């Protein structure tokens, strides 16, 4: 990769990592389901005029939105109302082992010993994180973030079923369905939305703009460009830096405590995820094929 593209990949990881701190600040001012409804409505408004969503994919995209909107994004943002941004950034890395586990179940992808060990290591890291004393009152909300990571794995199965589609058309279609779903859930489960809109400060609204423009559009545009330009195994390892930036953002921007459980648990989780992400199954052995001429001569 060129130095410029390496810098772009690092910028994407910085955007994704800092997003946990940004989301944490935003849900302190705006209800979590409601802010996600606003976020997806803005993403749909920006992207829909520029993309074409295949009609035959609409049903599958609706199913994807129903999985991801309330059960991935919704649970993650609700969890962030009471969980450290750094802890959430670490726990969300379980989405990788969950996705591998789902793929092995639905598509019979072989896990192998190395991936299985990586999963055990990753989950061990989150268990250490959950053992942090100050987490005693936050375990339920941390559990919601872990469940959110599991739903990311389910969502990946649905994305694979959708098949070939322009990534921005997929994002626009999902946002189109996700916004009303989340709005209905917000009206049923939350209160004080209009008061929050009137009283939210510029930091909260800046967070919404950050999540829409930088996260949902700019960062994914760069990421898709890198994936098209280089081999997947050159680009994907950069994703391991996301939680590093996430933990740093929580500590440096929000003043969260840098406990040993957070640092050790985070390092162990990232190590486990690295074993899964960087694993390449061995190529099947080459079987020599007899030369037809030699076989004919021998006969």
Query: Which runs of consecutive H residues, i.e. helices, occur in the chain?
Result: 3-27, 32-47, 58-68, 75-80, 85-91, 95-106, 112-130, 139-162, 167-189, 193-199, 202-209, 220-229, 232-235, 242-254, 260-277, 292-298
Residue 289's pLDDT is: 54
Indicate whether 130 pLDDT > 80. no
Residue 59 lies in a domain: yes
CB 21 within 8 A of CB 210: no
Separation between Cα atoms, residue 37 and residue 77, nearest integer Å: 12
Answer whether residue 285 is part of any domain.
no
> Considering the domain boundaries, does residue 296 fall inside one?
no
Q: What is the pTM of this model?
A: 0.84
Query: Per-residue DSSP letters for 13-37?
Result: HHHHHHHHHHHHHHHTTS-HHHHHH
Cβ atoms of 103 and 62 within 8 Å: the answer is: no
Gap between the Cα atoms of 119 and 114, Å rounded: 9
> Does residue 125 register a pLDDT over 70?
yes
How is residue 94 written in tokens?
A: 């379980």
Give how many domains the chain has, as a whole number: 1
Q: Positive or negative CA dihedral for 194, 200, 206, 208?
A: negative
User: Which DSSP letter does residue 259 get?
Assistant: -
pLDDT at 68 over 70: yes
Q: Which two tokens stand for residue 189?
A: 């489960």
Between the CA of residue 219 and those of 3, 207, 216, what are the distances in Å? 18, 15, 7
Longest dimension (CA), the chain: 91
Is residue 287 very low, low, confident or very high in pLDDT (cuts 50, 70, 90)?
A: low
**Identity of the highest mean pLDDT range in 62-76, 106-120, 235-249:** 62-76
pLDDT band of 229, cuts 50, 70, 90 = confident
Q: Return the pLDDT at 136.
A: 59
Under the banding of pLDDT at 50, 70 and 90, the label for residue 281 is: low
Listed residue (279, 269, 288) closest to 110, CA to CA:
279
Distance (Å, rounded) from C-alpha 181 to C-alpha 70?
8
pLDDT at 166: 87
Q: Are 97 and 119 in contact (CB under 8 A)?
A: yes
| pLDDT above 90 as % of the chain | 41
- Please give the share of the chain, as a percent, with pLDDT higher than 70: 90
Q: Is 108 part of a structural domain of the chain?
A: yes
Domain ranges, residue 69: 3-279
Q: Is 295 contained in some domain?
A: no
In a domain, 228, yes or no: yes
For residue 283, report the phi and psi dihedrals to the nearest 5 degrees. -70, 145
Identify the pLDDT of residue 270: 85
pLDDT band at 27 (very low <50, low <70, confident <90, very high): very high
At residue 136, what are phi and psi to the nearest 5 degrees? Answer: -55, -40
| Predicted confidence band of residue 279 (pLDDT cuts 50, 70, 90) | low
pLDDT: is 197 or 105 the higher one?
A: 197
d(CA 17, CA 219) in angstroms, rounded, equals: 11
The answer to whether residue 117 is domain-embedded is yes
- With cut-offs at 50, 70 and 90, classify the pLDDT of residue 135: low
Q: What is the pLDDT of residue 94?
A: 87
pLDDT at 294 over 70: no
pLDDT, mean over the chain: 86
Residue 131 lies in a domain: yes
């Amino acid at each position: 990769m060129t130095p410029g593209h390496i810098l772009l990949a690092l910028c994407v990881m910085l955007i994704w990592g800092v997003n946990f701190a940004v989301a944490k600040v935003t849900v302190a001012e705006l209800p979590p389901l409601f802010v996600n409804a606003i976020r997806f409505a803005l993403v749909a408004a920006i992207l829909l005029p520029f993309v074409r969503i295949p009609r035959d994919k609409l049903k599958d995209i609706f199913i994807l939105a129903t999985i991801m909107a309330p059960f991935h994004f919704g649970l993650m943002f609700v969890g962030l109302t009471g969980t450290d941004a750094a802890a959430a950034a670490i726990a969300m890395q379980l989405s990788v082992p969950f996705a591998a586990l789902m793929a092995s179940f639905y598509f019979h992808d072989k896990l192998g010993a190395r991936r299985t060990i990586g999963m055990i290591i990753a989950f061990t890291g989150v268990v250490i994180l959950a053992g942090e004393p100050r987490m005693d009152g936050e375990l339920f909300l941390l559990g919601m973030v872990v469940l959110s990571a599991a739903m990311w794995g389910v969502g990946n199965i649905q994305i694979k079923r959708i098949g070939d589609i322009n990534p921005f058309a997929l994002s626009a279609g999902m946002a189109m369905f996700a916004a009303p779903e989340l709005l209905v859930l917000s009206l049923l489960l939350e209160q004080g939305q209009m008061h929050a809109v009137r009283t939210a400060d510029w930091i909260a609204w800046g967070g919404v703009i950050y999540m829409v423009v930088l996260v949902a559009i700019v960062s994914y545009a760069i990421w898709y460009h890198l994936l098209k330009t280089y081999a997947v195994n050159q680009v994907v390892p950069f994703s391991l830096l996301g939680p590093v930036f996430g933990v740093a953002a929580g500590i440096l921007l929000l003043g969260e405590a840098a406990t040993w459980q957070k640092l050790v648990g985070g390092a162990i989780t990232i190590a486990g995820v690295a074993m899964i992400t960087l694993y390449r199954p061995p190529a099947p052995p080459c079987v020599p094929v007899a030369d037809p001429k030699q076989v004919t001569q021998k006969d």
